[in-house]
């Protein structure tokens, strides 16, 4: 199903959401790596490459935006899929999307929308193209 996505990093402080995302992604034959916060993700990214990052927007220690900014500052240009349960998140959307992340999704995440976001990330070369989109459940 996916041609370019081999290494997917999931970053969420909720064990339930980490399990959910891992389960959904594993169903597509992929083996994601899961981290419980942005600090752990940064340590992992210092020595590993990933093809896409799925991260919670708000987490203790290092949040999703800080993680994205760290990635861009270290030339990690992979797509980033933000997830959030916040109601007012779209007011902060420009902070993330202006930095070239792939997607912003509201929790609970619809499996079809996650698949669509991963397919979009798989199709584009983020070293050349910048995909700005917001997936909302209908």
pTM value > 0.95? no
d(CA 129, CA 23): 29
1 in any annotated domain: no
3 in any annotated domain: no
Which CATH number is 19's domain given? 3.40.50.2300
126 in any annotated domain: yes
CA angle 94, 95, 97 (to 5 degrees): 55
Q: In the chain, what percentage of residues exceed pLDDT 90?
A: 42
81 in any annotated domain: yes
pLDDT at position 93 is 57
Q: Based on the structure, what is the number of domains in the chain?
A: 1
Over residues 54-99, the pLDDT tens digits come to: 999 889 999 998 998 899 889 888 889 989 887 766 555 555 555 5
User: Peptide bond preceding 5: is omega within 30 degrees of 0, i.e. cis?
Assistant: no
d(CA 49, CA 59): 22
Helix (H) or strand (E) holding 26: helix 15-26
Q: Which range marks the domain in which residue 38 is found?
A: 8-135
């Amino acid at each position: 199903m996916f041609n370019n996505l081999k290494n997917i990093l999931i970053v969420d402080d909720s064990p339930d959401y980490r399990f959910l995302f891992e389960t959904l992604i594993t169903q597509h034959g992929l083996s994601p790596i899961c981290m419980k916060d942005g600090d752990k993700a940064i340590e992992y990214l210092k020595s590993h490459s990933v093809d896409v990052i799925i991260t919670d927007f708000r987490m203790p220690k290092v949040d999703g935006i800080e993680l994205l900014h760290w990635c861009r500052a270290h030339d990690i240009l992979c797509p980033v899929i933000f997830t959030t349960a916040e109601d007012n998140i779209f007011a902060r959307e420009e902070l993330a999307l202006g930095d070239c992340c792939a997607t912003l999704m509201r929790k609970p995440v619809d499996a079809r929308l996650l698949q669509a976001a991963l397919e979009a990330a798989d199709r584009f070369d983020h070293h050349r193209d910048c995909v700005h989109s917001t997936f909302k459940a209908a």
